[in-house]
């Protein structure tokens, strides 16, 4: 007998790509966090660990599986942070774990700069085949997002013989000395570090909720791009000297901001007109998070260089630069990396890509659309929510003091993130006053519902406190 698929089975990804169900209730707080064990480890951290980063809350992790993170004191959290958008297939997906274990028994390191192995080549073949970029492509593998960004800048300068790079306010491209010049999300990143890289210029991103040229939707014709063409190119930066424009197709750290639909296509046309290379930094927004493998696909972009990291290998360190064949041209021996594309990370990436394409990308798009709708529904009851925006499972909630003035409310945002943590929901801040929701792409409707309920409770509590 032919059985019609049930609505549930037609919509959910095949069981084989989903991790096994978590064997217990979650989230579940048994000791008010941080519990005694977490506090003890945090005290040790403070004595010896470089204190360059202040964690958003004092979570000390024992283990994690799928959507669930367990702390040392026995609390279980629903993870809507995913190690900053990184564990795309959920924590410790059994197939990813198996691929790493099997590779570890055969070869851990040999250094691709000197010797070759199949996993590196297979991953480059797969990425080259999948990247939405016209023509023949080549791929270089490295370890981190920042390393890949630096690679792309070197390439663009070598390829064009030009020096200048244009990036965007609010962007995050890394914290190494070169990339922090391109990053423009918070001044603290470059405080006392200068001089930074010369010949880097910033212009405004298409941030419609806080339009840089004060347009209302009805009078918008993407005039934010005029700041590049009429201001920068007319006054200070001759476009014929610009090697590359570097952009996150959906801004991440800057506030989870999808641009106006016309912004990126017009930017691409401008780049073509002036012979400028377009570099799409998809470190945070790529790898299925937006409901397409590459976020650029939503905007019909055909960039010259793609940068990937974070979600590409479910938490194993690896990054990739994908460039058109005529762009990926090096002077022999001019670039390399000891650990870049190590065999364990390549295997994790190959499995991750298979799982993403096997249903998790679609899942991100479907669950994300439902989550966005439910979160927007909260706006009727919670005036603190100024804007709820996003694509797929990349959703930002901007917290404001007043809906009319749109005054950012960073302290309130931090309180919401903290209270959500105390109730068992992990989220992260971004932008001036935005909460970022970026769960693993195995997130189910029921996980999304739990997250919305916790945020609703927290917002209600904060409203009652006045
Ligand atoms: N580019 C983007 C868009 C990022 O979000 C990040 C990190 O958050 C980076 C680059 C830097 O990546 P990494 O921290 O792996 O160096």
Residues of the chain with pLDDT > 90, as a percent, come to: 94
- Given a cut of 50, whether residue 318 has pLDDT beyond it is yes
Q: How far apart are CA 317 and CA 311, in angstroms?
A: 10
Kindly give the interhelix angle for 118-130 and 343-355, rounded to the nearest 10 degrees: 40
- Given a cut of 80, whether residue 203 has pLDDT beyond it is yes
Pocket flag, ligand 1, residue 281 (CB < 6 Å): yes
Query: Which pLDDT belongs to residue 466?
Result: 78
Pocket flag, ligand 1, residue 252 (CB < 6 Å): yes
- Given a cut of 50, whether residue 5 has pLDDT beyond it is no
Domains of the chain: 25-92+359-465 (3.90.1150.10), 96-355 (3.40.640.10)
Query: Which pLDDT belongs to residue 231?
Result: 93
Q: Write down the mean pLDDT value for the chain.
A: 95
Model-wide pTM > 0.85: yes
CB 352 within 8 A of CB 311: yes
CB 362 within 8 A of CB 391: no
Pocket flag, ligand 1, residue 145 (CB < 6 Å): yes
For 402, the enclosing helix (H) or strand (E) is none
pLDDT tens digit sequence for 233-281: 999 999 999 999 999 999 999 999 999 999 999 999 999 999 999 999 9
Pocket flag, ligand 1, residue 149 (CB < 6 Å): yes
11 — pLDDT class (breaks 50, 70, 90): low
Distance 378 CA to ligand 1 centre (A): 31
Which tokens belong to 80?
Answer: 């809507």
Pairing assessment for the beta strands 394-399 and 434-437 based on DSSP bridges: antiparallel
pLDDT tens digit sequence for 148-178: 999 999 999 999 999 999 999 999 999 999 9
pLDDT tens digit sequence for 47-65: 999 998 877 789 999 999 9
Which tokens belong to 265?
Answer: 């296509």
10 — pLDDT class (breaks 50, 70, 90): very low
Residues 6+ apart with CB under 8 A from 213: 204, 223, 224, 226, 227
Pocket flag, ligand 1, residue 144 (CB < 6 Å): yes
Kindly report the backbone phi and psi dihedral angles of residue 441, in degrees, each rounded to the nearest multiple of 5, phi listed first.
-75, 0
Q: Which of 82, 88, 145, 436 to mutate to test the pocket of ligand 1 (most atoms within 8 A of CB)?
A: 145
CB 385 within 8 A of CB 374: no
Distance 173 CA to ligand 1 centre (A): 5
Pairing assessment for the beta strands 242-247 and 164-168 based on DSSP bridges: parallel
Sheet holding 68-71, edge to edge: 61-65, 68-71, 76-79, 425-426
- Could you give the 3-state DSSP secondary structure of residue 359? helix
Q: Which of 310, 340, 394 to mutate to test the pocket of ligand 1 (most atoms within 8 A of CB)?
A: 310
pLDDT tens digit sequence for 391-436: 999 999 999 999 999 999 999 999 999 999 999 999 999 999 999 9
Residues of the chain with pLDDT > 70, as a percent, come to: 97
Distance 407 CA to ligand 1 centre (A): 28
Pocket flag, ligand 1, residue 174 (CB < 6 Å): yes
Distance 308 CA to ligand 1 centre (A): 9
- Closest protein CA for atom 5 of ligand 1: 284
Pocket flag, ligand 1, residue 143 (CB < 6 Å): no
Cα angle 451, 454, 460 (rounded to 5 degrees) comes to 140
Q: How far apart are CA 147 and CA 153, in angstroms?
A: 10
The DSSP code for 427 is -
For 222, the enclosing helix (H) or strand (E) is none
Q: How far apart are CA 444 and CA 466, in angstroms?
A: 33
Distance 283 CA to ligand 1 centre (A): 6
CB 277 within 8 A of CB 243: yes
Alpha helices in 161-250 (DSSP H): 177-182, 226, 233-235
**What average pLDDT does the segment 369-395 reach?**
98
Beta bridge partners of 396: 389, 436
In 314-465 the beta strands, taken as DSSP E runs, fall at 319-324, 385-391, 394-399, 425-426, 428-430, 434-437
Residues 6+ apart with CB under 8 A from 376: 388
**What average pLDDT does the segment 122-137 reach?**
97
pLDDT tens digit sequence for 205-240: 999 999 999 999 999 999 999 999 999 999 999 999
Pocket flag, ligand 1, residue 429 (CB < 6 Å): no
- Closest protein CA for atom 7 of ligand 1: 174
- Distances from the Cα of 341 to the Cα of 103, 106, 139, 143, 219, angstroms: 13, 16, 11, 7, 47
Alpha helices in 247-360 (DSSP H): 263-274, 343-355
How many CB atoms are located within 10 Å of the residue 190 CB?
16
Query: Which pLDDT belongs to residue 9?
Result: 42
Instruction: Work out which ligand 1 atom sits closest to the CA atom of 309.
Output: 15
Distance 146 CA to ligand 1 centre (A): 6
Pocket flag, ligand 1, residue 282 (CB < 6 Å): no
Distance 425 CA to ligand 1 centre (A): 23
Find, among 377, 389, 372, 380, the residue nearest to 463 by Cα: 380
pLDDT tens digit sequence for 87-100: 999 999 999 999 99
């Amino acid at each position: 007998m032919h059985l019609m698929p049930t609505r549930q089975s037609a919509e959910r990804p095949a069981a084989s790509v989903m991790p096994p169900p978590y064997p217990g209730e979650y989230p579940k707080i048994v000791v008010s966090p941080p519990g005694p064990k977490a506090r003890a480890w945090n005290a040790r951290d403070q004595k010896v660990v470089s204190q360059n980063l202040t964690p958003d809350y004092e979570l000390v992790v024992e283990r994690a599986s799928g959507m669930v993170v367990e702390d040392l004191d026995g609390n279980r959290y629903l993870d809507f942070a995913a190690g900053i958008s990184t564990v795309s297939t959920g924590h410790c997906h059994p197939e990813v774990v198996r691929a790493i274990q099997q590779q570890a028994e055969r070869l851990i390191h040999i250094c691709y700069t000197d010797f070759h192995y199949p996993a590196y080549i297979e991953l480059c073949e797969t990425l080259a085949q999948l990247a939405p970029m016209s023509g023949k492509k080549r791929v270089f593998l490295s370890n981190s997002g920042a390393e890949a960004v630096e690679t792309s800048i070197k390439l663009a300068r070598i390829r064009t013989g030009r020096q200048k790079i244009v990036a965007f306010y609010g962007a995050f491209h890394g914290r190494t000395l070169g990339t922090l010049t391109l990053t423009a999300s918070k001044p603290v990143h470059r405080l006392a570090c200068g001089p930074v890289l010369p010949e880097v210029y910033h212009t405004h991103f298409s941030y419609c909720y806080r339009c840089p040229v004060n347009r209302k939707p009805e009078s918008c014709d993407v005039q934010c791009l005029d700041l590049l063409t009429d201001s920068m190119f007319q006054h200070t930066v001759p476009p014929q000297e610009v090697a590359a424009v570097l952009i996150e197709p959906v801004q991440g750290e800057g506030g989870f901001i999808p641009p106006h639909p016309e912004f990126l296509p017009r930017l691409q046309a401008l780049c073509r007109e002036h012979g400028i290379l377009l570099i799409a930094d998809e470190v945070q927004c790529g790898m299925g998070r937006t409901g397409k493998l590459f976020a650029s696909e939503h905007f019909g972009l055909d960039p010259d260089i793609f940068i990937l990291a974070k979600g590409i290998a479910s938490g194993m360190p690896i990054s990739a630069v994908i460039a058109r064949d005529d762009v990926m041209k090096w002077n022999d021996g001019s670039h390399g990396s000891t650990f870049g594309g190590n065999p364990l990370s390549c295997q994790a990436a190959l499995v991750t890509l298979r799982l993403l394409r096997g249903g998790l990308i679609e899942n991100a798009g479907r669950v994300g659309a439902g989550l966005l709708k439910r979160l927007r529904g909260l706006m009727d009851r919670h005036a603190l929510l100024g804007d709820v925006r996003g694509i797929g499972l990349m959703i930002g909630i901007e917290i404001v003091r007043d809906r009319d003035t749109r005054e950012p409310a960073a302290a309130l945002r931090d309180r919401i993130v903290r209270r959500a943590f105390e109730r068992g929901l992990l989220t992260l801040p971004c932008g001036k006053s935005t909460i970022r929701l970026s769960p693993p792409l195995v997130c189910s409707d029921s996980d999304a519902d739990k997250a919305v309920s916790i945020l609703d409770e927290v917002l209600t509590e904060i409203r009652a406190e006045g």
